[in-house]
Amino acid sequence: MLSGFSVHGWGTLSQALLAFSLMNQGHCLLISSAVFFVLATYAILLGPFLPSSGIAILEALAHDTHYKYLVLLLVPTTSYFVIANWVGWQYYQNS
């Protein structure tokens, strides 16, 4: 019934809904990346030098000397291993 329906430049309704869903996922990824960046910046650079904020999680990040680096450094390390695994799998499939 809606198969001939066209949404301005998107084609069918299902294509428009898929594009909208992907755009929402992109916005969620962008927002979560920004929040992670702000928390990591606070934990490493600003937290130890600013006065107490009264928020328990931020205080734990500010006064910790070891584990705040663990979460921050897991991101590039995990990304490296995921990419290396994908490249290795591509070599295996194409050999």
CA angle 68, 51, 56 (to 5 degrees): 50
Domain residue ranges in the chain: 13-93
Low-confidence ranges of the chain (pLDDT < 70): 1-20
The confidence score (pLDDT) of residue 89 equals 93
Task: Using DSSP, state whether 22 is helix, strand or coil.
Answer: helix
Tokens linked to 94:
């194409």
Give me the pLDDT at residue 84, please. Answer: 94
pLDDT attached to residue 50: 80
CA-CA-CA-CA torsion sign (35, 62, 53, 50):
negative
Structure tokens, 38: 């702000």
